[in-house]
Amino acid sequence: MSTRNSARWRRTTRLLVAPAALLVAGALVAAPQVQAAPASVLASFTDDFDGPAGSGVDGGKWVHETGDNVNNHERQWYTDGTANAALDGQGHLVITAKKENSGNNCWYGACEYTSARLNTSGKFTASSGHIEARMKLPRGQGMWPAFWMLGSDIGNVGWPQCGEIDIMENVGFEPNTVHGTIHGPGYSGSGGIGAAYNGPNFSDDFHTYAIDWSADRIVWSVDGNAYQTRTPADVGGNQWVFNHDFFVILNLAVGGYWPGDPDGSTQFPQQLVVDYVHVS
């Protein structure tokens, strides 16, 4: 049983798809909002984040999520627009966490931090393939960047029945470690199934984080080095829920049960710099 897995579970229950409201761990959670599916969605996905410095992400590919995350006790308010998620003019998306009052109230009072969370719901989904991002991670106590996926049927079946694939998560107190995990019915929260990859300080340079995914097999890799494989045999007789459409999520959280809150050693602003997201 790990605090890390419990924290990751709570992260999924706040801002995402639901028809009305979610009952999570005995507490009613306000329904997150999601982009309605357009008449047609993208058949493939490539975003190299080319564009003028200061411009926003491509609205034909990404949806901004806004609000706080009471369930995971994250400290940030996720904003819309370019204040916390913008192109740098050099082929990167920069998600910036700032120590500032957003003018909104978070679960703990006046919000102390801002950041951004983006997803492809209603724009692009995949049920298999090579899903990869090249990123340079932030650093410091309390930082929690993530590149992950949720089942697109979450609004109908809820979490964890929809499934969750965490392609990459990192917490600031482990600068040399990233994590990959799956969550589904009977293996969510503290029972999430995953592994860690230890390498260099992932804040010092760009690295690629990927999965190779088929209906009954997911392989995680960092810089092309496979470090974990999961199949239906790994879920203890429970349902394997990774054979349908999922959408992609990028976010930079500040604080929470797993990473802990920022402290006096944490320097702001911090940035998650994304070179590309490719699905092939």
CATH assignment at residue 150 = 2.60.120.200
Q: Is residue 211 part of a domain?
A: yes
Print the domain residue range for 196. 3-16+45-279
Residue 37 lies in a domain: no
The pTM score is 0.88
Nearest CA among 85, 193, 190, 104 for reference residue 145: 85
In a domain, 188, yes or no: yes
Q: Is residue 175 part of a domain?
A: yes
Q: Is residue 99 in some structural domain? A: yes
Whole-angstrom Cα distance, residue 172 to residue 175?
A: 6
The C-alpha atoms of residue 240 and residue 163 are separated, in whole angstroms, by 8
pLDDT in tens, 49-95: 999 999 999 999 999 999 998 888 999 999 999 999 999 999 999 99
DSSP H stretches of helix in the chain: 3-11, 154-157
Q: Is residue 40 part of a domain?
A: no
Report the length, in residues, of the chain.
280
pLDDT of residue 53: 98
**What average pLDDT does this structure show over 219-231?**
98
pLDDT band (50, 70, 90) for residue 1: very low
Mean pLDDT score, 1-20: 35
Whether 164 sits among the annotated catalytic residues: the reply is yes
pLDDT above 70 for 18: no
Beta-strand relationship, 76-78 and 27-30: unpaired
Q: Residues 65, 132, 164, 174: which is the catalytic one? A: 164
Q: What is the DSSP letter of 189?
A: G
Is pLDDT of 43 > 80?
A: no
DSSP letter for 87, please. E
**Where residue 102 falls among pLDDT bands split at 50, 70, 90?**
confident
Higher-pLDDT residue of 260, 9: 260
User: 143-151 and 164-169 as β-strands: parallel, antiparallel, unpaired?
Assistant: antiparallel
Centroid of chain to Cα 178: 13
Contact 232, 259 (CB under 8 A): no
Helix or strand or coil: residue 127? Answer: coil
Provide the number of structural domains found in the chain: 1
- By the 10 Å C-beta count (0-12 exposed, 13-18 middle, 19+ buried), 239 is classed as middle
Indicate which residue of 112, 132, 169, 174 is catalytic. Answer: 169
Q: Kindly state the percentage of the chain with pLDDT values over 70.
A: 85
In this predicted model, what pLDDT tens digit does every residue of 134-186 receive, in sequence order?
Answer: 999 999 999 999 999 999 999 999 999 999 999 999 999 999 999 999 999 99
Domain contains 27? no
Here the tokens at position 123 are: 């724009």
| 112 is a catalytic site residue | no
Residue 209 domain-assigned (yes or no): yes
